[in-house]
Amino acid sequence: MTVRPILSFLLGTIVAFSSLYSPISAIARPPLDTNSPNAPLDIPDIVVASDVSDYAVAAPKVFWSTRSAGCPVPLSAAEASAVDTPKSPNSPSTPPNDEYVRRVSIYGSEPRTLWQNITSVCSTSRIIASNIVADSDFVYWTTSSALVRQSTNANVGDTPEIVTTEISGTTELAIDSVYVHVLKGGGSNPNYTARVWSVKKSDKSVKPLASRTNLTGYPNSIASSIGTRLSGDSYVYWLESGRLMRYNLNTDAIGSIATGVSNFYPEGPVTLCFL
């Protein structure tokens, strides 16, 4: 037997074995409507089938948070008299306001819960006050009192680590290889405010980047791009009433680079290979 047939056999065996244990392949795909003239040729894989409030990707893992929809609308007196079970906020039939942070590998693994908050009483308050962001080591989010992070190898019951108490409450987060960037909006029209920070992951140091006032729209959509010696400076971006703002982390320069923007994508550094 030659080397090529042996390699082909081993590769085929590995692929077949991996597909048996992939959580993605285990979820049945919907049938393809081949009669539709606009039917897609490929159907996206379902990574997580339900209960996803927010997600982050740190290849090869996908992280997601689950936050319940909150308390159900109370029944009127007439509606309550027409049912057999009580519907008070403390009733066992009321869905609890549970929260989770979980992960799964896109190459095949069982979902793993890194953190959870289980409550038996329906409440409008939640612990997670932001989107989640992640790298290979930690998942980050804000609470009412701090920016925290949880190890990507944590188990249920492990307490998240406090990164800084200088930043808290409802925020938007972005992450790159060096920093976690934070955008916090406030105020009301026409006096919305925007505060922006960068938190260095290695030493938890906090650098205020911007404090903006008199905005006519709520700030949103923070993102970042890290430069290299070949691709230039590093930037933090966010939106203010359709204006795309950019902060240069190398020079501290700040300004609007486009208007009428609904969405954007910072491409980030480009690696050039010379052969």
pLDDT of residue 83: 54
Please report the pLDDT score of residue 85 as a whole number: 47
Residues of the chain with pLDDT under 70: 1-37, 39-40, 68-96, 120, 122-124, 229-231, 268-275
Q: What is the 3-state secondary structure (H, E, C) of the chain?
A: CCHHHHHHHHHHHHHHHHHHCCCCCCCCCCCCCCCCCCCCCCCCCCCCCCCCCEEEEECCEEEEEEECCCCCCCCCHHHHHCCCCCCCCCCCCCCCCCEEEEEEECCCCCCEEEEEECCCCCCCCCCCCCCCEECCCEEEEECCCCEEEEECCCCCCCCCEEEECCCCCCCEEEECCCEEEEEEEECCCCCEEEEEEEEECCCCCEEEEEEEEEECCCCEEEEEECCCCCCCCCEEEEEECCEEEEEECCCCCEEEEECCCCCCCCCCCCCCCCC
Q: Is the pTM of this model over 0.95?
A: no
Task: Give the pLDDT confidence score for residue 106 in this predicted structure.
Answer: 85
